[in-house]
């Protein structure tokens, strides 16, 4: 008896398997195409094109080939999403016996998705599923509204994401291996989701959290609570920044994102390596980190950086201000302040702003104060404000020796290092280079130097300087006496005009004979040598001041 029962059960199982195999041949799933198309168009508020539909009994659903979701007409006439195949999970019993379509999930394999942002801040996905969206022409109304739709699960696997600006000729940027999983999507409650995408240069972005309820008017304003992890994000190749801005580097990020659909708050830590900040700059020698807290209003696309603690080794600076993301290029209005920052730690970021110390030189001592304003669009940032170095030591660089015969005339001791009592200047850093005004350098072993000049984007130096040295009874005294009337003012103190040219890594100190002559013409004629021999000797002395021929 037991054996008969086993035979009967086995036979039923075989019969069910045969029915399961043969059933797809008797049910033409394409009969449901109008229903599927209409339901999709009604839910999305977009035209949807679908190809062949096949029943996939063992996976519990149907497979749809060649699906395309149209673009928002305001963003063009192309496709928002295209995919070769989409697996739609359905409840099989209602489908087979009642021909009713109850969707349980959607899995989209290898789709191509295009995200476009308008200057107003609106995204092309904002109107997906929007309440009151016009039904596409030719589509029939489905039972129930989109607001009553609840999808158990949606998956996007191995997709390609293209991101760009609507109505712009700027290059669009592509990201691979896009994966999205969301469960229990609803217009009435939160739902969990995970999103990940690979960025150019082996980077990655991962967002995990909860979203919802889905905003029925603008999907981009759906509330979100999530954690954000970014690894090895190349700022240039990913398209986050225009290469012409000169800003480059690789960024890691770990933080949180919280949005009520109108306002966004984000907190976290950013670590940037190989950072460059100006055209012609070189990568920074050590990572730059920032702990930040920022608020952002989705409309009108403005935000504020409440906290921006910048760490470079033991040096800490504070960045605060506002930013505006409207338009094609974001802009900022910020302040960067720092007090008593170790100069030795800041040395590593000097190449990032286009400054390279002379070969073999390094900042070993001293502290730096900065009070800088940063303004403009991020591709043309202008930074201005005072910078001051106190009690510094430039190891491996003898400034006196670089000044040639002047050091001998003035009795300047020679050594392997340059001790700096103070260095201060008002800087302007822009894409075209750096301008330094009101420059004042005090080196106890030499005296003081004042002037102004520029550092080009190619690190070329062009400075007009005056060295204020102690007068002596040597030939230096004669030269100092002749140049003491710089600017036409007698008794202003001895000063030797000179130029600094070359590059930041290989500076050249040259006598400025033209400035000396100009000073004499403004009132120092009474100090001129009277004999031809004195004039000839003085010319030789001036020409040899910096170990150079007269310029």
Query: What does the alpha-carbon distance between residue 534 and residue 540 come to, in Å, rounded to a whole number?
Result: 10
The model's pLDDT over 43-87, given as tens digits with 9 standing for 90+, comes to: 788 898 888 887 765 556 678 888 899 999 988 888 999 998 888
Omega of the bond leading into 86 within 30 degrees of 0 (cis): no
* Domain ranges (residues) in the chain: 27-240, 399-543
State the DSSP code for 72: P
Instruction: Pick out the chain residues at pLDDT < 70.
Output: 1-29, 56-61, 90-103, 130-151, 404-414, 470-494, 513-551
Q: Is 193 in contact with 218 (CB distance < 8 Å)?
A: no
Range list of β-strands (E), 130-202 = 151-165, 173-185, 191-199
Q: Is 133 in contact with 199 (CB distance < 8 Å)?
A: no
Q: Is 497 in contact with 486 (CB distance < 8 Å)?
A: yes
Range list of β-strands (E), 348-432 = 362-377, 382-395, 418-430
Q: Which residues contact 461 (CB under 8 A, 6 or more apart)?
A: 453, 454, 455, 500, 501, 502, 503, 504, 507, 508
- How many angstroms separate the most distant Cα atoms in the chain? 140
Q: Is 408 in contact with 545 (CB distance < 8 Å)?
A: no
Q: 372 in helix, strand or coil?
A: strand
Q: Is 89 in contact with 105 (CB distance < 8 Å)?
A: yes
Q: Is 91 in contact with 104 (CB distance < 8 Å)?
A: yes
Residues paired with 229 in a beta bridge: 206, 254
* CB-based burial label for 58 (10 Å; 0-12, 13-18, 19+): exposed
Nearest to 100 by CA among 67, 142, 141: 142
Omega of the bond leading into 213 within 30 degrees of 0 (cis): yes
Q: Is 257 in contact with 229 (CB distance < 8 Å)?
A: no
Displacement of CA 509 from its chain's centroid (Å): 38
Task: Count, in order, helices (H) and strands (E) of the chain.
Answer: 9, 25
**Residue 427 φ/ψ, nearest 5 degrees:** -105, 155
**Residue 396 φ/ψ, nearest 5 degrees:** 80, 15
Nearest to 202 by CA among 180, 179, 176: 176
**Residue 91 φ/ψ, nearest 5 degrees:** -80, 115
- pLDDT at site 188: 82
pTM for this entry: 0.78
């Amino acid at each position: 008896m037991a054996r008969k029962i086993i035979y009967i059960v086995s036979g039923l199982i075989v019969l069910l398997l045969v029915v399961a195999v043969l059933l797809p041949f008797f049910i033409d799933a394409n009969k449901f195409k109008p229903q599927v198309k209409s339901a999709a168009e009604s839910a999305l508020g977009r035209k949807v094109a679908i190809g062949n539909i096949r029943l996939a009994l063992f996976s519990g659903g149907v497979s749809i080939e060649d699906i395309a979701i149209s673009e928002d007409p305001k963003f063009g006439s192309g496709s928002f999403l295209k995919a070769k195949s989409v697996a739609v999970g359905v409840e099989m019993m209602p489908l087979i016996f009642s021909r009713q379509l109850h969707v349980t999930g959607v899995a989209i394999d290898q789709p191509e998705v295009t995200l476009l942002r308008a200057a107003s801040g609106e995204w092309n996905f904002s109107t997906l599923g929007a309440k009151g969206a016009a039904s596409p022409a030719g589509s029939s109304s489905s039972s129930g509204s989109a607001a009553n739709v609840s999808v158990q699960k949606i998956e996007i696997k191995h997709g390609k994401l293209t991101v760009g600006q609507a109505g712009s000729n700027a290059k669009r940027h592509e990201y691979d291996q896009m994966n999205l999983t969301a469960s229990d999507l609803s217009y009435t409650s939160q739902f969990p989701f995970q999103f990940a995408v690979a960025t150019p240069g082996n980077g990655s972005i991962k967002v995990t959290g909860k979203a919802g309820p889905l905003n029925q008017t603008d999907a981009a304003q759906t509330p979100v609570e999530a954690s954000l992890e970014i690894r090895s994000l190349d700022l240039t190749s990913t398209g986050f920044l225009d290469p012409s801005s000169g800003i480059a580097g690789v960024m890691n990020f770990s933080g949180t994102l919280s949005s009520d659909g109108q306002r966004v708050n984000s907190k976290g830590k950013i670590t940037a390596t190989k950072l460059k900040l100006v055209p012609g700059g070189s990568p920074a020698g050590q990572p730059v980190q920032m702990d930040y807290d920022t608020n952002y209003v989705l409309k009108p696309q403005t935000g504020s950086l409440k906290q921006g603690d910048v760490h470079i080794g033991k040096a800490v600076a504070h960045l605060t201000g506002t930013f505006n993301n409207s338009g094609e290029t974001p802009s900022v209005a910020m302040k960067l302040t720092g007090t008593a920052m170790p100069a030795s730690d800041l040395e590593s970021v000097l190449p990032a702003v286009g400054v390279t110390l002379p070969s073999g030189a390094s900042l070993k001592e001293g502290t730096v104060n900065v009070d800088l304003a940063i303004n403009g669009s991020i591709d043309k940032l202008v930074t201005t404000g005072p910078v001051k170095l106190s009690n510094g030591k430039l190891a491996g660089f003898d400034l006196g020796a670089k000044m040639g015969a002047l050091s001998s005339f003035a009795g300047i001791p020679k050594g392997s290092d340059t001790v700096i009592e103070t260095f201060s200047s008002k800087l302007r850093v822009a894409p075209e280079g750096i301008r330094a005004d009101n420059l004042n350098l005090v080196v106890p072993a030499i005296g003081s130097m004042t002037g102004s000049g520029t550092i080009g984007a190619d690190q070329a130096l062009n400075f007009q300087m005056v060295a204020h040295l102690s007068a002596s009874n040597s030939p230096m005294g004669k030269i100092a006496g002749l140049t003491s009337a710089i600017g036409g003012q007698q008794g202003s103190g001895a000063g030797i005009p000179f130029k600094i040219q070359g590059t930041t890594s290989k500076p050249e100190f040259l006598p400025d004979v033209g400035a000396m002559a100009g000073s004499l013409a403004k009132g120092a004629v009474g100090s001129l040598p009277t004999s031809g021999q004195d004039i000839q000797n003085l010319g030789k002395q001036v020409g040899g001041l910096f170990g150079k021929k007269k310029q």
